[in-house]
Amino acid sequence: MVNSLSLQEVYDVVEKAKQHFEPILSSKTFGYYTGVWNKLITYAETSADSSNVDLCSFYEKVAHTPAYTKPSTKWWMMQARAVFVLGDLIISAAPKREYTYNQASYAGIFTNEFNKYIAYRIDEGKASETIRKEKLEVANLLTALEDYGITSLQEVTADHLLCYIASINPNYSDAWKRSRAYTARRFLCCPKLNLSFSYDIDTLLLGYRHNKKQRLESFYTTAEIKAVMNAVDRDTPWGKTIYAMMLLACIYGLRVSDIRELQLESIHWKEQTIRLYQYKTKRFVELPLTEETTLALLDYIKNVRPNCTDTHVFIRHTRPYMPYSKKDNFGSKVSYYFKKAGVNTEGKHHGLHSMRHSLATNLLGENTAINEIASILGHSSAKSTKRYIWSDIKHLKLCALEVISNGN
């Protein structure tokens, strides 16, 4: 995000924003955005230094929150978005449908311990998204401990931890509660903090353990996957779109995030390869472009994809023409075709990610080596791959031996 602009740059980007958004927004929403942009012009014109207009300060002024963090009301969030889109237009990028807010840093009495833990997790090589989530969760934990009157982490008792877990909104999912429970465990057991307790934290949080078998039984046979694919109506725009997405999931095992973020420049038609940067692992992979995938992608791009400047492969069909956001996992669309194909989904997930699981399990059934499957799925460790294929007990025992023998 650009933090400062000259007065002329403010004039230029506001004019650019008005030209971009007027045709695609309702008059009411466009009026809200224009109001914020006009405030920015006034703010810039009255700035002490017209060559260095502080965009961070303006954001704080209209969003009523520290720069680029999440506002507390929907009205202020709309004003914040009006500033965010300017940041994209300044660098000639397409405005995003959804923006990720910065998390306000923790600044309480345990700031030193907080910083030590985050540095430790970064040194472990954890992904930026993992770090972002843990910052928020640890900050929530430490704020709660302060509210309980704790002045030293060594004072944290089992009752304090149980009280913290119990305070989590009961409407939140079990997965949400487990995440916070285990972040609390990781934090308090961090070797850099040198804490010791008279109780066993693992035993204390036993009730929040994740039952992996319940979560992972989401694979389908090759015949079932083919039936689902054949159920897609490829004469409709959405059918062409979801068919291409499903092929990427079941042939290459791509994550939903990688399908959403796939770029036009990642498809090398002449070389018949897909070279992409994996959203989760931050690694580049190169995949062979099969004939079936080539035809499906060409059909979508030629006949469905809107003609726009955005470089994502998959773009929404309606204005404003933008890429799909993190909230779009296409589960309901894919589930419809599972049902249409008559595939039994009871007790299983039945979205795009289940096709990734199915690829792993079916490869294992064909005696593909565990480390090769890990490579196909883009896992940094074969241990991650074991989660996808637990259901094939006979082969899983062999996998365990193979993982150990390879030192992973």
pLDDT, greater one: 234 or 375: 234
Tell me, yes or no, if 388 is annotated catalytic: yes
Task: Work out whether strand 284-288 and strand 267-268 pair parallel, antiparallel, or are unpaired.
Answer: unpaired
d(Cα 208, Cα 172) in Å, to the nearest integer? 14
Q: Which residue out of 240, 255, 312, 357 is catalytically annotated?
A: 255
pLDDT at 385: 44
Give the pair of three-digit tokens for residue 124: 């472990």
pLDDT per position as a tens digit, 192-245: 999 999 988 878 776 665 444 444 446 777 888 889 889 999 999 999 999 999
pLDDT at 368: 44
Q: Per-residue pLDDT averaged across 176-205, rounded?
A: 87
Looking at residue 384, the DSSP 8-state letter turns out to be H
Residue 403 φ/ψ region, left for φ over 0, alpha for ψ in the -120 to 50 degree band, beta for the rest: alpha
pLDDT at 359: 55
Per-residue confidence band for 370, with pLDDT thresholds at 50, 70 and 90: very low
Tell me, yes or no, if 353 is annotated catalytic: yes
d(Cα 41, Cα 38) in Å, to the nearest integer? 5
User: What is the helix (H) or strand (E) element at residue 385, kind and residue range?
Assistant: helix 382-386
Per-residue confidence band for 297, with pLDDT thresholds at 50, 70 and 90: very high
Per-residue confidence band for 81, with pLDDT thresholds at 50, 70 and 90: very high
pLDDT at 74: 84
How many Cβ atoms from other residues are within 10 Å of residue 394's Cβ? 8
Answer whether 98's CB lies under 8 Å from 84's CB: no
Tell me, yes or no, if 356 is annotated catalytic: yes
Q: Which residue out of 121, 312, 353, 386 is catalytically annotated?
A: 353
Name the most confidently modeled range: 101-105, 126-130, 263-267, 317-321: 263-267
Tell me, yes or no, if 255 is annotated catalytic: yes
Name the most confidently modeled range: 164-178, 195-209, 295-309: 295-309
In whole angstroms, how far apart are CA 279 and each of 262, 372, 378?
9, 20, 10
pLDDT at 145: 95
Asked whether the predicted pLDDT for residue 171 surpasses 70, the reply is no
Torsion, Cα 197 199 202 206, to 10 degrees, reads: -150
Task: Work out whether strand 267-268 and strand 53-54 pair parallel, antiparallel, or are unpaired.
Answer: unpaired
Q: Per-residue pLDDT averaged across 373-381, rounded?
A: 47
Asked whether the predicted pLDDT for residue 189 surpasses 70, the reply is yes
What is the reported pTM? Answer: 0.51
User: What is the helix (H) or strand (E) element at residue 107, kind and residue range?
Assistant: none
pLDDT at 120: 92
d(Cα 311, Cα 301) in Å, to the nearest integer? 12
Q: Which residue out of 132, 160, 280, 340 is catalytically annotated?
A: 280
Domain limits of the chain?
4-90, 111-210, 222-405
Q: Which residue out of 312, 357, 379, 386 is catalytically annotated?
A: 379
Task: Work out whether strand 273-277 and strand 267-268 pair parallel, antiparallel, or are unpaired.
Answer: antiparallel
CATH class (in words) of the domain with range 222-405? mainly alpha
Looking at residue 351, the DSSP 8-state letter turns out to be S
pLDDT at 208: 63
